[in-house]
Structure 1
Amino acid sequence: MARWYPLLSADADFLVSAPHVFRYEKRYAATPEQVWQSLTSDESLAAWGPAVKNVTWTSPRPFGVGTTREVTAPGGAILRERFFRWDEGHQKSFYVYESTLPLFKRFAEDYIVDADGGQTRFTWVVAVEPKNAMSLPVAILAPLLKAGFGRIPSGGQKYFATT
């Protein structure tokens, strides 16, 4: 049985004020409706490539503020997420409230889907605050973390180029 570590809640301010904020912007060969549908599908980001192993929505549809899900990373860590913003078809944001990985004090993400000509501009923000003991290692490894997280939106480009 997995051991769960609680994280502090986060809000929209944390997405800009966190000690580490990683921002990605990609253009996808799909309509905003197609991208949003993929993000809210049963597979969600797991369909985009190996950077996310599994997504399980733990709230019933229709989704909105308060929706929860569990996400499994390739190494087996599981994150329990709660959405604090849900602007249907355009933007959704969550914070991690529990994790099997004891690294972070706070962790949040923001997804923005915008029309961009005949394509979609996807903006993704990852904001993290490590636990005190992890502050220095996370600061040193921040470029690697940014590159690792960046595999997810890059996977989206490949996914939509072939669907």
Structure 2
Amino acid sequence: MAHQLREVGLDFVERAPVRLVFARDMSAPPEQVFRALADDVPGWAEWFAAVTLARPTGDGTTREIHLKGGGRFQETIIAAKEPEVYAYRVDVANVPGVRTLVEEWRLAPSGTGTHVRWTFATDGTAAYRLAMRLAAPGLGRAFRDAATALDRRLTKQASAGPDAGLQQ
């Protein structure tokens, strides 16, 4: 059953009881990675294997996300500073035990590419917090696989032209 989560700001990323941080270097430049995250919301289902549906809602500041396994989220974008940071807060979720969830993508130039740091910041019941800590290796693997798939997608798009593959 879906339930409302606590409304928090971007500062929650630094003070969350459970913070899982993963990083990866990509060959695409930060501007291209940012556009894939922020502008091509439906494209997430193409490169993030856990995502089965991603679509912007409302005026574009909210999103609906469906995950494999049945997870459903309604999210609000809380930071979109191109090309440095893209973050969203989950407002409604059907995941038991979760009370607060914010995900932040930090992008920094790295040579000719991008250093991507994804922070999964969350809080919930004691059982939920334990489950999230135990899930850290799987979330890390999911992030690495997603970053690799996105990098391949962006490399392919770059060779095909600037607007190739963008979904609106």
TM-score, normalized by the shorter chain, greater than 0.5: yes
SS at 1:53's partner residue? strand
TM-score by length of 1: 0.83
Correspondence for 1:82:
76
Contact 1:28 1:161 in 2 (8 A): no
Q: Which consecutive aligned stretches of 4+ in structure 1 deviate over 4 angstroms post-superposition? A: none
Correspondence for 1:39:
37
Cα 1:137–1:34, aligned 2, differ >3 Å: closer, same or farther?
A: closer
Cα 1:137–1:80, aligned 2, differ >3 Å: closer, same or farther?
A: closer
The separation in 1 between residues aligned to 2:43 and 2:23, in whole angstroms, is 18
Q: 2:127 aligns with which of 121, 136, 141?
A: 136
Question: What residue ranges of structure 1 are gaps of 5+ in the alignment?
Answer: 62-66
Structure 1 position 42, deviation (Å): 3.3
Contact 2:123 2:129 in 1 (8 A): no
The separation in 1 between residues aligned to 2:76 and 2:128, in whole angstroms, is 27
Correspondence for 1:64:
none
Contact 1:27 1:157 in 2 (8 A): no
Is residue 2:142 matched to residue 1:148? no
Residues paired across the two proteins, number: 152
Give the AA of the match of 1:59.
Answer: G
For the aligned residues, what is the CA RMSD? 1.9
Cα 1:86–1:37, aligned 2, differ >3 Å: closer, same or farther?
A: closer
Give the AA of the match of 2:19.
Answer: V
Question: What residue ranges of structure 2 are gaps of 5+ in the alignment?
Answer: 157-168
Correspondence for 1:96:
90
Correspondence for 2:50:
51
Give the AA of the match of 2:97.
Answer: L
The separation in 2 between residues aligned to 1:11 and 1:129, in whole angstroms, is 14
Give the AA of the match of 1:57.
Answer: P
Give the AA of the match of 1:27.
Answer: D
Cα 1:126–1:37, aligned 2, differ >3 Å: closer, same or farther?
A: same
Structure 1 position 161, deviation (Å): 3.3
String of CA shifts for 1:89-117, please: whole Å, max 9, x gaps: 22122211111223211111111122111
TM-score by length of 2: 0.81
The separation in 1 between residues aligned to 2:71 and 2:127, in whole angstroms, is 21
Contact 2:18 2:133 in 1 (8 A): no
Report matched runs for 1:108-119 at 5 Å. Answer: 108-119=102-113
- The sequence identity of aligned pairs, in percent, is 22
Cα 1:76–1:142, aligned 2, differ >3 Å: closer, same or farther?
A: closer
Cα 1:71–1:137, aligned 2, differ >3 Å: closer, same or farther?
A: closer
